[in-house]
Amino acid sequence: MIGALALTATLALAAGTAAQERPWTPLPDPVSATCPAGLCQPEGLNGFFAAVERGGPVQIVQFGDSHTAGGQITGSLLWRLQSRWPRLDVRMDAYGVVGETLRGLQARTPLFVGSAPDLVIIAYGTNEGFDDLLDSSAYERLLREQIRRVRQAAPSASILIVGAPEAMRAEGGGTCANDPEGRWRPPAMLSVVRDVQHRVAAEMGVAFWDWRGRMGGECSAHALTLGAEPLMRQDHVHFTGAGGDWIGSLLFDDIVAAQAHRGGR
């Protein structure tokens, strides 16, 4: 299980003077143009909310790639959920593999260890998006198959597809501000993967989180690498520790907003 994420205050030290706290700067909170409040089909989380409202315990399982394997995003989400509902036993098992695609979930047997979860988060897509030879039709069939498989293994569980985030590679032809050489641009298949995820989630009644929109949309993978305390690493794919905590907080905010709209406690 992932433990709570430790938060530390950063102090700026001036030579020959006492330490002073660095001025607080609010983190960005972009609005998704794709999904209201960041989540499409929030009713797809009703099973999860029902488990919360029953008083727990609440079990979450997340499958994904390096974003999951890094632990910062999942740790941030879990810590906030546990803080939100301190009297509940909220647990998360996160299975992330660097470089993994949805085929890693297909190969997983058994799908769950122990009791069936209340929420299953499927967080793949970045590596598929960097595959220029990806067969989008085959990918769509696989995604539908894995959603059906999760439903068969855990009929009462909610399913949340975390849409592929904005990511880039240095291949030229970019048009982002503050990139005068036009070095960075997203791979073409990344938007295809994201569109498939969005459409399949809608057609199958699964919750979908617009990660790309909530991190700022177009060129956000470049913009977030800039500044004194960047939220993305210079590879324009992975997040810094602070960035992972920020992304986890956005996902948490959108989940809590969906429950409040439903009328939950």
Tell me the average pLDDT of the chain: 90
pLDDT class of 42 with cuts at 50, 70, 90: very high
For the stretch 224-234, pLDDT in tens is 999 999 999 99
pLDDT at 263: 67
How many whole angstroms from its chain centre is CA 171?
A: 25
**What is the share, in percent, of the chain residues with pLDDT greater than 70?**
89
pLDDT at 93: 97
For the stretch 178-211, pLDDT in tens is 999 999 999 999 999 999 999 999 999 999 999 9
Judge contact between 238 and 66, C-beta under 8 A.
yes
Q: Is residue 3's pLDDT more than 70?
A: no
Mean pLDDT of 78-82: 97
pLDDT at 24: 55
pLDDT at 2: 33
Mean pLDDT of 81-89: 96
Choice among 20-24, 34-38, 52-56, 94-98 with the minimum mean pLDDT: 20-24
pLDDT at 23: 56
Beta strands in the chain (DSSP E): 11-12, 20-21, 39-40, 58-64, 90-96, 119-123, 158-162, 169-170, 184-185, 207-209
Q: Is residue 143's pLDDT more than 80?
A: yes
Q: Which of 168, 163, 156, 187 is nearest to 250 (CA)?
A: 163
For the stretch 208-264, pLDDT in tens is 999 999 999 999 999 999 999 999 999 999 999 999 999 999 999 999 999 998 765
Q: Is residue 111's pLDDT more than 90?
A: yes
CA distance 5 to 248: 11
Please give the model's pTM, rounded to 2 decimal places.
Answer: 0.89
pLDDT at 13: 26
pLDDT at 40: 97
CA distance 189 to 83: 38
